[in-house]
C-alpha cells in the first residue's frame, strides 16, 4: 500500500515538473501584455475587444495562450498515459487559472499576489480522478468573502505549493463526495475527504452543507465545516450568507468566518460582488480578528479568457487595533482551457 502511494506521488511530481514550468513564463508575458500595441483599446473598436478574435487578426498573445494551453493538455495526457490499459481516443481534460494581483492598503503599498491552479481529469481512470496543482488552499475558492480575508491577511500559512490526486466517489442528486491525496505545506503528505450536499428548502432558499476532514502526516488532524445559504435569487442577482469553521491541529485555535454577499450580473461580460464579513478565533470567546466591507467589479475584456477585477475595501484588522483601513485590490486573471 505504501509503495503504491509512493508511486502515485512520484508520478504527480513528474506532472507538476512538466506543467508548472510554463507558468512562470506567464508573468513575463503579462508584463509585456500591458504595453503591447496589439492590445491597445485605442487601436481596437469595442466590438473587436468583446468578440472572438478572427484568425487573421490574432496577435502573439493569442498564440502564446494557445501554446500554454496545448502544453498543459499535453502534460495531462502524458500523465494519463501511465494508467492506460487499452488504447483509447479519449483525451484528458485540462485547465489552468493564473491570477496576478496588486492589493495595497494603508501603510502597505507593496502587497502583490500571484496564484495559479492546474487541474486535469484522467479518462484512463474513468474521469473520476483529477490531478490538481496549486499554490494556495482551494478549500474556500468558491467563497468570495474567504478570498478577500485571505488576500488582506497576505495569505494563510497553508498557501504553499500543493499537488494532489483527487478521487470523486459520486456526484448525483445534489450530493458530492471526494477524497484527495497529496503533498502540501512544503512536503507534508495529507489525506482529505469532503462531502457536499445542497438542500432546496423553498423556491427562494437553498442550503448547502459541506463538512470535510483531513489528516497531515506532520501537522495532525484538521476539519472544516461550511454552511451556506442562497436566497432571493433573481435573473441577475443572488444573496448568499456564508458560515465557516476550521480547525487544524498544529495551528491551535479554530477559526470562524461569517459573511453576507450579493452577486449581481450586469451583463454577459461583467458582474458585481458586494459583501460584509467578519472572522476570528473560536477558543477566545469568538475573538474578532477582522471585519470589513468590499465591492468587487469583474470584467471580461480584450480576450474571452481574460478577466480584470477592481475591488475597493474597508477593513478593521486586529493588527491595526481595529482601526478603519482603506485598501484597493487590482487583479488580472487568465484562464487556459481547450
Quick: pLDDT tens for 29-38. Answer: 333 433 333 3
Question: Could you tell me the pLDDT band of residue 1, with boundaries at 50, 70 and 90?
Answer: very low
Strands (DSSP E) found in the chain? 93-102, 112-121, 129-134, 162-172, 175-184, 188-202, 205-216, 220-231, 237-248, 255-267, 270-281, 287-300, 306-315, 325-337
| Mean pLDDT confidence for 54-68 | 83
Give burial (CB, 10 Å; 0-12/13-18/19+) of 261.
buried
- Note the pTM of the prediction, 2 decimals: 0.78
Domains defined along the chain, listed by start: 2-337 (2.40.160.40)
User: What is the DSSP annotation of 268-305?
Assistant: TTEEEEEEEEEEEESTTTSEEEEEEEEEEEEEE-SSTT
Tell me the C-alpha distance between 303 and 49, whole Å. 7
pLDDT of residue 141: 60
Amino acid at each position: 500500500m505504501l509503495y503504491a502511494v509512493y508511486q502515485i506521488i512520484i508520478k504527480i511530481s513528474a506532472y507538476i515538473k512538466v506543467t508548472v514550468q510554463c507558468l512562470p513564463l506567464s508573468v513575463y508575458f503579462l508584463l509585456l501584455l500591458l504595453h503591447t500595441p496589439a492590445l491597445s483599446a485605442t487601436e481596437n473598436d469595442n466590438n473587436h475587444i468583446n468578440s472572438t478574435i478572427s484568425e487573421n487578426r490574432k496577435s502573439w498573445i493569442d498564440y502564446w495562450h494557445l501554446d500554454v494551453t496545448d502544453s498543459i493538455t499535453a502534460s495531462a495526457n502524458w500523465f494519463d498515459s501511465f494508467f492506460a490499459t487499452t488504447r483509447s481516443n479519449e483525451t484528458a481534460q485540462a485547465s489552468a487559472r493564473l491570477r496576478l494581483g496588486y492589493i495595497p492598503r494603508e501603510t502597505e503599498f507593496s502587497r502583490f499576489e500571484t496564484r495559479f491552479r492546474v487541474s486535469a481529469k484522467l479518462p484512463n481512470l474513468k474521469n473520476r480522478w483529477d490531478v490538481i496543482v496549486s499554490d494556495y488552499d482551494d478549500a474556500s475558492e468558491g467563497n468570495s468573502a474567504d478570498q478577500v480575508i485571505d488576500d488582506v491577511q497576505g495569505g494563510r500559512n497553508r498557501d504553499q505549493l500543493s499537488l494532489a490526486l483527487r478521487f470523486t466517489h459520486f456526484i448525483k442528486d445534489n450530493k458530492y463526495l471526494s477524497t484527495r491525496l497529496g503533498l502540501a505545506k512544503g512536503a507534508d503528505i495529507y489525506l482529505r475527504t469532503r462531502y457536499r450536499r445542497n438542500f432546496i428548502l423553498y423556491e427562494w432558499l437553498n442550503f448547502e452543507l459541506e463538512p470535510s476532514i483531513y489528516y497531515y502526516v506532520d501537522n495532525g488532524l484538521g476539519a472544516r465545516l461550511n454552511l451556506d445559504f442562497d436566497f432571493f435569487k433573481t435573473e441577475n442577482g443572488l444573496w448568499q450568507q456564508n458560515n465557516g469553521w476550521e480547525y487544524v491541529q498544529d495551528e491551535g485555535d479554530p477559526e470562524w468566518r461569517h459573511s453576507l454577499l450579493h452577486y449581481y450580473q450586469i451583463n454577459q461580460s461583467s458582474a458585481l460582488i458586494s459583501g460584509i464579513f467578519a472572522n476570528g478565533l473560536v477558543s477566545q470567546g469568538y475573538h474578532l480578528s477582522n471585519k470589513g466591507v468590499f465591492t468587487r467589479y469583474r470584467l471580461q475584456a480584450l480576450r474571452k479568457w481574460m478577466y480584470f477585477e477592481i475591488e475597493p475595501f474597508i477593513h478593521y484588522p486586529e493588527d491595526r487595533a481595529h482601526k478603519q483601513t482603506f485598501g484597493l485590490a487590482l487583479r488580472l486573471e487568465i484562464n487556459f482551457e481547450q
